[in-house]
C-alpha cells in the first residue's frame, strides 16, 4: 500500500467500507475508521486479501490505535425493502454517525456515496490504497463473519460458518433441500426462486 495522504494536524479523515453486499443471507455491515497517523498500523490491506486469522489479529490493533471507529449494519429486512445498494449506504451512514469524533472528510470505498452533510469522496479500490478504508474493511468483515458464525449455530445445515452466506454450491444445495431461513435475502434471485417453488407446492 503506497498511497499517501497529506493530512494536516487536527484534520480527521474517516475511511468507510462495507462487508456483505454479495451474500444471499445475513445483514450487510459497514465500518468507519479515523486512523491516528502517529500510530501507524502495519499490514493493513483489503480485508478480502487477508486471512481470517490475520483479520482477527488486526481488529483489536485497529480499535486500540484509531482515533475513532464504529461499526453498523443494515438488516435483511432493510436489504429486501430498500435494495442492497441503498441498505449498504444506510449502514455506512449509521457507522459514520456512530463515530465519537466528527470527521472533516470522509473517504468511501467504491463509486457510490451515502447521503451525508460531511464532505466526502468515493474511491474505487480504496480498500487497497487508503489505510483508513482498509482498516474499515477489516472491522466490517470481522464483525459480519462473527454474526454469521452465530447464525451457523442456529442453522448448521446451511454451512454459514464456511461461506458466510455467499452463494456457494453447498449453500445453494442447502437452499434447495431445506428452503429459506429468516436471515435469507428474499429479494435475491436464488432465494426468491426457492421461495416461489415452496409457495407453489
19-34: pLDDT as tens digits: 999 999 999 999 999 9
Angle between helices 169-178 and 189-200 (to 10 degrees): 20
CATH 3.30.420.10 fits 13-156, yes or no: yes
pLDDT given for residue 10 in this prediction: 78
Query: Domains of the chain: which residue ranges?
Result: 13-156
Model pLDDT for residues 133-174, shown as the tens digit of each residue: 999 999 999 999 999 999 999 999 999 999 999 999 999 999
Residue 179 clears pLDDT 90, i.e. is over it: yes
> The pTM is what?
0.92
Answer left, alpha or beta for residue 165, where phi above 0 means left and psi between -120 and 50 means alpha: left
pLDDT given for residue 5 in this prediction: 56
Q: How many CA atoms lie within 13 A of 140 on its CB side?
A: 34
Model pLDDT for residues 92-142, shown as the tens digit of each residue: 999 999 999 999 999 999 999 999 999 999 999 999 999 999 999 999 999
Dihedral angle of Cα 159, 151, 125, 59, to the nearest 10 degrees: -110
Q: What is the arithmetic mean of pLDDT over 1-26?
A: 81
Amino acid at each position: 500500500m503506497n498511497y499517501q495522504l497529506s493530512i494536516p494536524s487536527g484534520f480527521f479523515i474517516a475511511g468507510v467500507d462495507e462487508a456483505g453486499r454479495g451474500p444471499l443471507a445475513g445483514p450487510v455491515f459497514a465500518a468507519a475508521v479515523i486512523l491516528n497517523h502517529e500510530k501507524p498500523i502495519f499490514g493493513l490491506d483489503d480485508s478480502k486479501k487477508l486471512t481470517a486469522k490475520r483479520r482477527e489479529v488486526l481488529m483489536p490493533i485497529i480499535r486500540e490505535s484509531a482515533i475513532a471507529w464504529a461499526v453498523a449494519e443494515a438488516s435483511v429486512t432493510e436489504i429486501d425493502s430498500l435494495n442492497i445498494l441503498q441498505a449498504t449506504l444506510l449502514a455506512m451512514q449509521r457507522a459514520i454517525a456512530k463515530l465519537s469524533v466528527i470527521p472533516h472528510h470522509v473517504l468511501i470505498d467504491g463509486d457510490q456515496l451515502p447521503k451525508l452533510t460531511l464532505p466526502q469522496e468515493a474511491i474505487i479500490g480504496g480498500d487497497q490504497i487508503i489505510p483508513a478504508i482498509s482498516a474499515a474493511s477489516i472491522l466490517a468483515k470481522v464483525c459480519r463473519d462473527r454474526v454469521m458464525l452465530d447464525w451457523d449455530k442456529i442453522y448448521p445445515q446451511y454451512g454459514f460458518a464456511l461461506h458466510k452466506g455467499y452463494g456457494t454450491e453447498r449453500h445453494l444445495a442447502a437452499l434447495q433441500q431445506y428452503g429459506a431461513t429468516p436471515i435469507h435475502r428474499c429479494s435475491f434471485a436464488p432465494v426468491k426462486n426457492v421461495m416461489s417453488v415452496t409457495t407453489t407446492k
